[in-house]
Amino acid sequence: MIQKLFRTTIFRMSLVYALLFSAVSAGALGVIYWMAESQIREQTDTRLQLETNALLRSYRIAAVEGLIQIIHVKNGDDDSRYLVSKLVHRQQQDLTRDIEFDRLNNDYTQAFATLPLGTITGNLQQKQPTRLLLTLLPGGYQLLVAIDLREQHALLNRLLITVLSASGLIFALAIIGGSFMGHNVLHRMNAIGKTANEIVSGNLAQRIPVTRREDEFDRLSHVLNAMLERIQHLMQGMREVTDNLAHDLRNPLNRIRNRLEASQYEPETNTNYPLLIQDTIQEVDELIRTFNALLSIAQIESGVQRDDWSSVDLSELTAELADLYSAVAEEQNLTLQHTASAGLTTHGNRQLLAQAITNLLDNAVKYTPAAGTISLSAQRVGDNIEVCVADNGPGIPADQHDAVLQRFTRLDNARSTPGNGLGLSLVKAVADLHGAQMHLADNHPGLRAGLRFKRVG
């Protein structure tokens, strides 16, 4: 499990992020430490300068003897924060040669330095750090003021430990957070992998678990579940098509075989070969129509006809189909009515749309009784266009509306009429290809079959 966690991309990214964030945090804390150190040194130098200025004022008033007395009093004061204040003549000791200074003023009469206290007092055992200011006075005198830095260094040491501890804590928390995120991602991926393995094993009903967080994994799971739903639907449809195709083709093939076998054993004088050939051709034509319908549905569902899409005027298309089917309706003693608003334009394949509407008209003509009425309409419905074919035939029960859209599905009252149960399936495939909605409704009596398209113009 740990090795899998280390191999996850999210953990590696978390590790890189932890290193970068820790480096940035350490840099920021380092800047804070440097600023604090600079501020403490500046404050210390300011205090040294103030003390030196006070002693210099005493020097101007009381000369060297008065300054020596004041320094003696200050060095004997236990409450004073200043460890050393002394006045040294260059003949006794030239401090400018013994001390390495790090900052001078403009006229080179004052200089700052940091060094152990023993360097000033001569006692090498005194190693505590001090900050000093050396001022050159007239007559060869040197005024030295030093302050103990142990408190400042202790504060800086605590600050340094805090900086290092905070950097380490930030890195540790980043690693822990990366491990947690990696474990969470690994758990989600394992769930997806488990579902995929079960699907590979043949259980197409399995779906990827979805949480309530609606994060990127949940959005991906929704997409994959939709894909799996579609695959399951297609596989189920393929099995149903295979079963129905075998069932529906078996009868006409058996009839052809029986007819040919019977003619083989009958005397030639008793066999009506033209009628036999005509019946056989009709059976073969019906088989060819079935296969052509299946091929058309497969091509439509694959979307191969999208290359020749264009703007289609549904008002004009329905008018042409109404003129074409008016003669067919008259032959069946039916009345065909057509109504359409002007300028109903959508984007699609004109041939496929015409084929879908033609299938609806064929069904209406087939199932509408004599003296019945068929209506073909195209009108605006909000931002959409609805093409509707209605008749006053026997209709379809409401609980069968979804079933009749499946391939090879035929109702009991339609089995005596020619057909293969693929007409409405083809209409549904064309509607899905064009992003349209197909709906069936009761026409009281009869059936209303509608196609609702997105309007372009």
Q: Which helix (H) or strand (E) holds 337?
A: strand 335-340
End-to-end Cα spacing for the chain: 59
pLDDT digits (tens, 9 = 90+) for 411-457: 655 545 555 667 788 888 888 888 889 989 998 888 999 999 887 65
pLDDT of residue 394: 87
CA distance 120 to 108: 20
Mean pLDDT of the region 222-240 = 80
The pLDDT assigned to 50 comes to 87
Q: What is the pLDDT of residue 407?
A: 67
| Local confidence band at 387 (pLDDT 50, 70, 90 cut-offs) | very high
Pick one of 3.40.120.10, 1.10.287.130, 1.10.760.10, 1.10.600.10 as the CATH number of 209-302.
1.10.287.130
Widest pairwise Cα distance in the chain:
162
Task: List Cβ<8 Å contacts ≥24 apart for 192-199.
Answer: 192/221, 192/224, 199/228
Question: What average pLDDT does range 283-310 have in this prediction?
Answer: 70
pTM of the complete model: 0.50
pLDDT-based confidence at residue 307 (cuts at 50, 70, 90): low
| 122: three-class secondary structure by DSSP | coil
Residue of 145, 128, 50 whose CA lies nearest to 88: 145
Q: What is the average per-residue pLDDT within 381-406?
A: 86
453 by DSSP, 3-state: which? strand
CATH code for the structural domain at 306-454: 3.30.565.10
Q: Which sequence spans correspond to the domains of the chain? A: 2-153, 209-302, 306-454
Give phi and psi for 447, each to the nearest 5: -130, 140
Question: Taking a C-beta distance cutoff of 8 angstroms, is the pair 373, 412 a contact?
Answer: no
- Specify burial of residue 299 (Cβ count, 10 A radius: 0-12, 13-18, 19+): middle
> Is pLDDT of 152 > 60?
yes
Antiparallel, parallel or unpaired: β 447-454 and 437-442:
antiparallel
